[in-house]
A = this chain, B = another copy of it.
Amino acid sequence: MTVEDIGSQSSGAWLTREELESARERLPILYVDAIPVRLDDLGEVTALGLLLRATGHGTISRALVSGRVLYGERVRHALLRHLEKDLGPLALPRVPPSPQPFTVAEYFPIPGITPFHDPRQHAVSLAFVVPVEGDCEPQQDALELTWLSPVEARDPAVLAEMQGGQGVLLQQGLAHLGL
């Protein structure tokens, strides 16, 4: 049985929606957050990718690539799976070789404990910057992918369109990139 098998089993048969809801009230849930970036030949960031997502309440917000790590799944496999889910199969993401995230974002159901907030759960997210080299086609509930320059990405109007503290996480990513 490979890692992938374990992962797909767990996402399918092993955890019903009710069971996930129940777990979310009792355990911190492991997440990954990814900031997709375009690099020039020097390795310097020229653009950062933000998704436009339809939220459940009929509004639209900007978001990072983000999602749960499944039982039996490697963190780097979860990163790739969520990048492919949101950016399409031709995005060619370059998951960084080190397991060290640039930060760990702790999302609490109660706002104000950290800059991060998720009303559904206590999620702890490993955050990575991921260069993508291919063509991105937003998928599923991602309506659009917008590439912003580092200066545009710092615009308070842009950051205000992000939810749950992801604007803070984006700024932390920019800082980690020396921008």
A residues apposed to B, CB below 8 Å: 1, 3, 6, 10, 14-15, 19, 23, 25-30, 37, 39, 41-45, 69-77, 79-80, 94-106, 108, 110, 113-115, 122, 124, 126, 129, 131, 171-172, 174-179
Copies of this polypeptide in the complex:
4
- Which residue from B23, B77, B97 sits with its C-beta under 8 Å from A39? B97
Whether A26 and B15, one on each chain, are in contact in the complex, defined by CB atoms closer than 8 angstroms, is: yes
- Which residue from B10, B74, B110, B174 sits with its C-beta under 8 Å from A114? B74
- Smallest CB separation, A168 vs chain B (Å): 9
Whether B98 and A75, one on each chain, are in contact in the complex, defined by CB atoms closer than 8 angstroms, is: no
- Which residue from B1, B30, B39 sits with its C-beta under 8 Å from A28? B30
B residues near A26, Cβ cutoff 8 Å: 10, 14-15, 19, 23, 71
Whether B23 and A27, one on each chain, are in contact in the complex, defined by CB atoms closer than 8 angstroms, is: yes
Closest 7 CB pairs between A and B?
A43-B95, A175-B175, A172-B175, A99-B178, A99-B104, A15-B26, A28-B30
